[in-house]
Structure 1
Amino acid sequence: MKRAWNAVMHVEHGWLARHQYANLAIIFAIVTLAPGVIEWMI
């Protein structure tokens, strides 16, 4: 996770950087929420 964050930090600013940051945020949200959702579904 830290490696991915460092990669985003080193990407040049611009649309691509924002796009990758958004993807990282979505992945982080899924990883964070998945355990709770799985427990709720069981």
Structure 2
Amino acid sequence: KIVIMKALEKTGYKKAETAQLLNITRQSLDRRLEKYEINI
């Protein structure tokens, strides 16, 4: 969860860029945001 939050902050909360930075698909990022109850 912390890694995702830091990546979101680094990319200015852009989902596509965050997913690319984490080397996952945007859909995977969406699922993880939902799982960890992160609202952006």
Fold-level similarity (TM above 0.5):
no
Please tell me the TM-score bracket, short chain as reference. 0.3 to 0.5
The TM-score, its normalising length taken from structure 1, stands at: 0.37
* Structure that is richer in helix per residue: 1
The TM-score, its normalising length taken from structure 2, stands at: 0.39
